[in-house]
Structure 1
């Protein structure tokens, strides 16, 4: 398990990263990548959508262009502070501080579930994906964006010592173990040479 796959350490990490997160994030996950993923996600204006690991609200902002009913959850109070300052004061988004592995919502509570830049910090990704399946309505889209595994053994070992990096085979294993029957993976990249994202679009079982 990587250093930041510990929830307490991740909270401390984001206490400081939150100050510069919006400036750093576009180098690895930019608007073009987000908008491409939103096209795959394909939600409608009336859909109730959960953004897990919403951070400072970068994906939340994109989701609001597609639906008026967005709910954001994050474990970091510092990230949530910044997201709330953008969208919470005028009730655009309902925000919750909570744990992705134990979502504080009823079964089938959302038409769709989105999570970008969060899976790499989950101690138990399969259990968390099961939670997404639980709160998503049958047939609803579940989209997860994470860091694609480096293709050299040296960088791979270093990456894994920090947080979860995974490839398409590992994504297949995780989504299958979590009970999803339908899913597909896309590799995204801000520009040649920059870190690659692996974006999985799944469907909650009917």
Structure 2
């Protein structure tokens, strides 16, 4: 387990990263990649959507182009403060402090979940994916963006020491273990040579 797959360490890390997050994020995860992923999620305007690990609100901004309201959850108060400054407390975003592995919502509360740049910090990603399946209505959609596993052995060792990186085979294992039957992986990249993202779109099984 990487050093940042610990919730207390991740909160400290984001306390400082929140100051520069919006500046460095486009080099890894940009608007074009976000738009492509949003097309795969195929939202309707009245869908009830949860953004897990919403951070400073980059994904939330994109989601609001497709739905009227977004429910945004993050464990970092510092990241959330940045998002609150963008959207306000009475705007189209409802904010929640919470944990991906223990979502504070009832069963079947949402039509879809989006989560980008968050899974790499979860100590138990399968537990979180099970929670996603619980709170999304049967037939609803779950989209998760994580860091694709590096191909270089040196970078693999470095990645494993920091946080979760995974390839399509590991993505298959996690989603199947969490009870999903239909899902597909997409590899995205901001530019040649930049870190790759693995974006998974899954459908919640009918009960």
CA contact (8 A) 1:38 1:63 kept: yes
Asked whether the equivalents of residues 50 and 73 of structure 1 are also in contact (C-alpha less than 8 Å), the reply is: yes
**Structure 1: runs of 5 or more not aligned:** none
TM-score using structure 2 length: 0.99
1:69 alignment partner in structure 2: 69
Cα distance in 2 for partners of 1:154, 1:73 equals 34
Tell me the equivalent position of 1:131.
Answer: 131
Deviation, structure 1 residue 193: 0.2
For the residues of structure 2 that align with 1:149 and 1:60, how far apart are their CA atoms? Answer: 25
- Cα offset for 1:89? 2.9
Q: Does 1:51 align with 2:45?
A: no
**How many pairs does the alignment contain?**
206
Which residue does the alignment assign to 2:87?
87
1:145-160 → structure 2 map (5 Å cutoff): 145-160=145-160
Q: Does 1:14 align with 2:17?
A: no
Map 1:1-206 to 2 at 5 A. 1-206=1-206
| CA contact 1:147–1:195 (8 Å) conserved in 2 | yes
Q: Is the 8 A contact 1:140 1:203 kept in 2?
A: yes
Q: Work out the CA distance in 2 between the residues paired with 1:127 and 1:61.
A: 27
CA deviation digits over 1:154-177, x for unaligned, max 9? 110110100000000000000000
Aligned residues of 1:184 and 1:200 also touching (Cα < 8 A): yes
Partner SS, residue 186 of structure 2: strand
2:138 is paired with a residue of what secondary structure?
Answer: coil
- TM-score under structure 1 normalisation? 0.99
Deviation at 1:87, TM superposition (A): 1.1
Q: Kindly provide the CA deviation profile for residues 72-118 of structure 1, in whole angstroms up to 9, marking residues without a partner as x.
A: 00000000001111113332100000011000000000000000000
Question: 4+ residue stretches of structure 1 with deviation over 6 A?
Answer: none
Query: Alignment partner of 1:3: what SS?
Result: coil
Superposed CA deviations along residues 122-145 of structure 1, whole A, max 9, x for unmatched, are 000000000000000001010000
Contact 1:88 1:94 in 2 (8 A): no
Cα distance in structure 2, aligned partners of 1:111 and 1:125: 21
Find the aligned partners of 1:105 and 1:91 in 2 and give their Cα distance.
Answer: 21
